[in-house]
Amino acid sequence: MPAWTRGSAMPQKKNRSKPSIALAWGTGLIGLLLILALLAPVLASFEPDSIDAEQLLSPPSFQHWMGTDQLGRDVLSRFLFGARISLTVGALIIVIAGCLGILIGSLSGYFGGWLDQLLMRFTDIMLCFPVFFLILSVIALIGSSVFNIILILGLTGWMGLARLVRAEILTLKNREYILVARAYGASDARLILRHLVPNASAPIFVTMILGIASAILAESALSFLGVGIQPPTPSWGNMLNDARATLGVAWWMSLFPGLGIFCAILGFHLIGEGLRNPAGGRP
C-alpha cells in the first residue's frame, strides 16, 4: 500500500454545504407561507372581516388562535388572507419591474451607443430621485387601490435589474455563439430573446427573488403608513397599522403580521443567497 501525501500546499477547504442549507430553509419558509396563503379559505375558520362583537381585543385562545383585533375580527383569518394579498402583490410588482428592467437593460446593453447612454442616464435619474415621495404624490393623485399600488411600485422598482441585465448582456454579446448566429442571419430580437436573456437568467432570477422581498417590504411600509392597501382588505402592513394604537396591550395584533413579513423577507433572501452560491461561486 503506497504512502500518500498531500499534493497541495494549500489548505483543504472545509465543508461547503452551508449555502445549500440556506436554500433548504428558504424554500421551506416560503413554501409554508405559500401553502398558508393558497389554503386561506380552507384554513380560516372566519371571514377576514367578520366581527365577533363579544371578543374584542381578546388574546389567542382555542377559538381564535391568533386572537382578535379591536373590531373583533379573527387575526388568524386576517393573517392568512393578508398573506395572499402581500405575496400576490409582491409577485406582481416584481413581474412588472422585471419586464421593464429586462427590456431596458437588454436594449441598452445590446445596442449600445446613444440608446445606451439615454437609457442609462434615465435609470440614473430614477435611482437618484426620491422615489418614495414620488409614490406618495402619485397615490395622493390617483388613489391607493391594489392595482395602483402594484403599478406604482412596479414602475419604480426596475432600475437595479436594468443595470444588472445590461452588464450581463455586455459580457455575453461578444460570445462566439452570438456572433455566429448573427452571421447566419439571426435578427436582433431573436438574439436578445432566445440567446442573451436566457443565458443571463441565473443572476436575473436571483435578483428577482430578492426583489420580491423588497416589494413585500415596500407594500407593507405603504400600508403601514395608511397609503397602501386600504382596509377592510387585510394586508400584513395595514394589520400592523391597526395594531399601532394597542401596541402595549394587544401584543398578538402586531406580532403575527410582523412575523409574517419577517418570514417572507427572510425566506426570499435565503433562497436568493442559496441560489447565488451553490458551491462558493457565482451561478
Partner 1 sequence: MTRLFEVRDLNVMLPTRHGPLAVSRDISFSLEEKQILGVAGESGCGKTMTMLALTGLLPPGSRVSWKKLELAGRSCDPSCRTDISKMRDKGISYIFQEPGTHLNPLFSIGEQLTETILCNNRGLRAKTARQEAVRILENVGLRPAGDFLRRYPHQLSGGMNQRAMIGLALAADPKLLIADEPTTALDLLTQRSIIDLVLSLVRTRGLSVIWVSHDISLMESFADTLAVMYAGRIVESGPAKDMTRHARHPYTRALIHCLPERLKEKRFQPIPGHVPALNAETRGCAFYPRCPFGMPACAQAEPLTIETENSRKIKCFFPQNT
Partner 2 sequence: MLLSAEHLTKYYPLRASIFSRARACVRALEDVSFRLPEQHSLGVMGESGSGKTTLARLLANLIAPTRGTLSFSPAISDRTKDIQIISQNPWEALDPRMTIGQSLKEPLIIHRMNDIRDRLRRSLDLVGLDRHCLNRLPHEFSGGQRQRIVIARAMSCGPKILVCDEPTSSLDISVQAQILNLLLDLKEQQKLSLIFITHDARLLPVISDSILVLHSGIMVERGPREAVLNKPLHPYTRQLMTLSKLHEKPQAARGAGGAGCPFWQVCSLKKTECSEHLPEIVQISPEHWVRCCHFL
* Binding-site ranges for partner 2 (CB under 8 A): 113-114, 117, 175-177, 179-187, 190, 195, 198-199
Binding part of the chain for partner 1, among 5-13, 75-83, 211-219, 230-238 by CB under 8 A, reads 5-13
Binding part of the chain for partner 1, among 1-9, 21-29, 57-65, 140-148 by CB under 8 A, reads 1-9
Question: Judged by CB, which is closer to partner 2: 179, or 259?
Answer: 179
Those residues with Cβ within 8 angstroms of residue 106's Cβ, 6 or more apart along the chain or in another chain: 165, 166, 169, 192, 196, 197
Cα-trace Rg, the chain = 24
Distance between CA atoms of 232 and 81, rounded to whole angstroms? 11
CB 146 to partner 1: min, Å: 48
- Convert 35-71 to b/e letters by CB count within 10 Å (16 or more is b): ebbeebeeebebebeeeeeebeebebeeebebbbbee
With CB under 8 A as the rule, give the number of residues binding partner 1. Answer: 12
Selection from partner 2, partner 1, none that 266 binds (CB < 5 to 8 A by kind) is none
Question: Judged by CB, which is closer to partner 2: 99, or 179?
Answer: 179
Binding part of the chain for partner 1, among 9-17, 69-77, 191-199, 215-223 by CB under 8 A, reads 9-17
CB 283 to partner 1: min, Å: 18
Distance between CA atoms of 138 and 136, rounded to whole angstroms? 6
User: Is residue 238 within 8 Å of residue 220, measured between CB atoms?
Assistant: no
